[in-house]
Homo-oligomer: A and B are copies of this chain.
Amino acid sequence: MPTVSSEELAAAAGVNSAKLRKDFSYLGSYGTRGVGYDVEYLVYQISRELGLTQDWPVVIVGIGNLGAALANYGGFASRGFRVAALIDADPAMAGKPVAGMPVQHTDELEKIIEDNGVSIGVIATPAGAAQQVCERLVAAGVTSILNFAPTVLSVPDGVDVRKVDLSIELQILAFHEQRKAGEEAAADGVVPPVAAKPHRKGPDGDVPAVMPA
């Protein structure tokens, strides 16, 4: 029986082995003392807990470049997601195949959601259309929304929204890039604009808490 120890997994993942064992114990995944965790059982437990063993039908609304990219993205199927439908407001798109699936018109939205028991919707429309689409999704029974449109959606209680802003990640890179440049300049004896007057150091001594590492 193939097994792994918490120590091996921790080293591979770069985390503390005790934390890993605590997290596993939360799942109720019993390991065997002196041996480790049964790999197969562990994979199953984690998959189940994360919802990977379930079938999650999702609809993608707004089949522009981003919507098409999402429809073609291979990572969904392997994680239990099934693209139930591609929906777009443009009548010219209707019937057009994207990722081997015909695009359907927004008029069909409610019917599609009810017929497929969809509870997760992806919004990849322009910002202007997002709120309206959101409301129709929610009214039709969707309770989780992944929003790629650059707008903050307002939803009733009980509905989860996650907003993905593609430029935020770039922002973070630029922030670090800037401080790389600043450090070099400092090493050269030039005062960098950013660190010109470090009035006070943050709690971690360098990076403000609001900025992800």
Contacts and interface: CB of A to CB of B under 8 A. Distances in A.
Interface of A: 19, 22-23, 25-28, 30, 48-51, 54, 56, 58, 64-66, 68-70, 72-76, 79-81, 119-120, 122, 143-146, 150, 158, 160, 162, 164-167, 169-178, 180, 193-194, 197-203, 208-210
Contacts of A56: 170, 174, 177
Given A50-B171, A65-B66, 7 more contacts: A26-B208, A28-B200, A30-B199, A51-B174, A56-B174, A69-B69, A144-B173
Contact of A49 (B50, B172, B194): B194
30 contacts: A22-B203, A23-B202, A26-B202, A27-B208, A28-B198, A28-B200, A49-B194, A50-B174, A51-B175, A51-B178, A54-B174, A56-B177, A58-B170, A65-B65, A66-B69, A70-B166, A73-B167, A74-B150, A75-B167, A79-B167, A81-B167, A81-B174, A119-B177, A120-B174, A122-B170, A143-B177, A145-B173, A146-B169, A162-B173, A164-B169
B197 A28 contact: yes
Contacts of A80: 174
Contacts of A176: 144, 160
Nearest to A53: B193
B177 A160 contact: yes
